[in-house]
Chains A and B, each alone.
Chain A
Amino acid sequence: MSWEVVIGLEIHAQLTTNTKIFSGSSIAYGAEPNTQACPIDVGMPGMLPVLNEAVIGKSIMLGLALNAEIGRKSVFDRKNYFYPDLPKGYQTSQFNYPIVGKGTLEIEVDGVKKTIGVTRAHLEEDAGKSIHGAVPGQTGIDLNRAGTPLLEIVSDPDLSSAKEAVAYARKMHELVQYLGICDGNMQEGSFRVDSNVSVRRPGEPLGTRAELKNINSFRFIEKAIEFEIERQIELLESGGQVVQETRLYDSENDVTRSMRTKEEANDYRYFPCPDLLPVVITEEAIEAISAAMPELPDAKRARYVADFGLSDYDAGVLTGSRDMAEFFESVVEKTGAKDIKLCANWMITGFSGALNKDGLSVKDAPITTDMMAGMLNRIIDNTISGKIAKQVFDAMWNGEGTADEIIENKGLKQITDSGAIEALVDEVLANNPSQVEAYKGGQEKMLGYFVGQIMKASGGQANPGQVNQILKAKLSD
């Protein structure tokens, strides 16, 4: 009998604000310990929270993108437990009235589309960090991260394979970055995925789940879930029982391991935070945010295919990130949309390829949209050929200036003067009498040979169309 896999994901997306959710401390990454922990973050006596306005708009954006209900009146609660990285002895979170309610996200796995339910998304504050080993026999507490705004996005248990889980996580990762509400940096912990995995026989109630935490790459998330599914099935088939627990993934050995901490049943004693009042979100506020929403990736892809005539694949690559899509659209605009396919090809093979090679993101690219469009415009107006363009592109990438400057400095301008081309043709034909003979004897493939020789003699700068035309005329004389 087969097994059915049930996975639900809890994603913590750190919101791209300047300050913490309840204080005016910076959330910049990498500061010295406790230098970004003010008395409010440290939970000092008499300190009070005041909500950061930026987190509200960002949460609503996600809610709109997921077609979710927006909590018109959302409430902050306290989740009570003791831990050294939790300075107040409670985490301020949302329990009964989250800011984002039920929504959906569509994923695609192996060409099959599936709609995944999003249970909710709620705002909460992050905890600090425990540092072991810095002082022997002691644990050090750094509260810089305490109070960093998080949006916890909880999926329904609709995912039925590791692939689906990762497709959902990737899609959410892409979405939050498109919306500009999270930088998506998994290494720095800005986007954290916790997976709840269980298996059951079809038709049976849900099995006991294990939670996989702290995995900071999609590849490892997929492997960890796969391992966990196998582990649970083997365990159940050999008569064992799955224990509800948190498990960590060991990427070196590709296994998950129990955290082995004494797991007492938690009793968090949630209750509404008396220091904070209900957040009321008006229809006007939602409309204003809705009007300012960026185009979402799915809509963008569909538009690229329909309006630009691009393939699904090309549209997918160009919308891979909001920065990439914006770069592309800017280049299309600056080339007057005269040859969108040309722009797309150069973005994918030239631009994207160079980024990958150097391990750069779009934002760090050494060329601007003006430079890229400047080069494409020279292809479109026949100043350079596609082949020369590669040389120009590489030079631009190496910081040698704009396309026009490079063409000028390196003398790469295409030769379109028919007199000059005629001279080149004559010279090549004169130097290759036997090949001319062969051509005239019916070996028409010799034509390519001549073109190659002429282009070579021109340093690649002769206009290929004109070369062909003049060559054929001379040979048929």
Chain B
Amino acid sequence: MSLGKTEVEYISRLAAIAVEENEVDQVAAKLSNILDLFKQMEAADTEGVEPMAHPLDQVQRLRADVVTEVDQHEKLQAIAPSAENGLYLVPQVIE
């Protein structure tokens, strides 16, 4: 399977990863190779097989509804790229 420019652009948008104009061909080629690997799955007969999401057949454990966390925003925001007045900052979003 071979990916084209349109597909690479679409994937770039989904993944929020920029792909420069001059990288498109190379990225497309490498991704296409991986998709060729995926093609090996096609022949396998999976009729009636239940998809497996987890290695163990365990069920979700529940947590008591009790507040256990304390305010630590100063500590967390000390490592933020941009924060002010307790808020994380991003370029203005127009809504």
Contact = CB atoms under 8 A, between A and B. Distances in A.
Do A and B come together as binding partners? yes
Contacts of A39: 72, 76
A17 B66 CA distance: 9
B26 interface: no
A61 B67 CA distance: 23
A137 B69 contact: no
B59 A277 contact: yes
Interface stretch (B30-38, B40-48, B82-90): B82-90
Interface residues of B, number: 34
Given A26-B69, A38-B72, A53-B65, A142 B87 contact: yes
Contacts of B77: 34
Contacts of A130: 93, 95
A365 interface: no
Contacts of B64: 53
B87 A134 contact: yes
B66 A50 contact: no
Interface string A185-216: 00000000000000000000000000000000
Given A18-B66, A52-B65, A259-B95, A138 B85 contact: no
Contacts of A33: 73, 85-87
A137 B86 CA distance: 16
A33 B65 CA distance: 22
Contact of A84 (B61, B76, B86, B93): B93
A106 B64 CA distance: 34
A44 B76 contact: yes
A1 B54 CA distance: 56
Point out which of B54, B63, B95 has the most chain A C-beta atoms below 10 A from its C-beta: B63
B14 interface: yes
A50 B95 contact: no
B6 interface: no
B72 A25 contact: no
B54 A277 contact: yes
A132 B93 CA distance: 8
B85 A140 contact: yes
A291 interface: no
Q: Name the prevailing secondary structure of the B interface residues.
A: loop
A33 B73 CA distance: 9
Contact of A35 (B13, B86, B93): B86
What's the dominant secondary structure at chain A's contact region? loop
Contact of B65 (A36, A38, A54): A54
Given A44-B76, A130-B93, A135 B84 contact: yes
B92 interface: yes
A261 interface: yes
A407 to B, nearest CB: 46
Q: Which of B64, B67, B90 has most chain A Cβ within 10 Å?
A: B67
Interface in A115-146: 130-132, 134-135, 137-143
A56 interface: yes
Interface stretch (A268-276, A382-390, A425-433): A268-276
B73 A139 contact: no
A75 B85 CA distance: 38
Contacts of A132: 92-93, 95
A402 B53 CA distance: 64
B18 interface: no
Nearest to B55: A274
Interface string A45-57: 0000011111010
Given A135-B87, A137-B91, 7 more contacts: A35-B71, A52-B62, A54-B65, A84-B88, A140-B88, A140-B89, A277-B59
The 4 lowest CB-CB distance pairs between A and B, nearest first, are: A140-B87, A24-B68, A53-B62, A54-B65
22 contacts: A18-B66, A19-B68, A19-B69, A24-B69, A32-B86, A33-B73, A34-B88, A36-B71, A39-B76, A53-B62, A53-B65, A54-B65, A135-B87, A138-B91, A139-B89, A139-B93, A141-B87, A141-B90, A259-B95, A264-B13, A276-B60, A280-B59
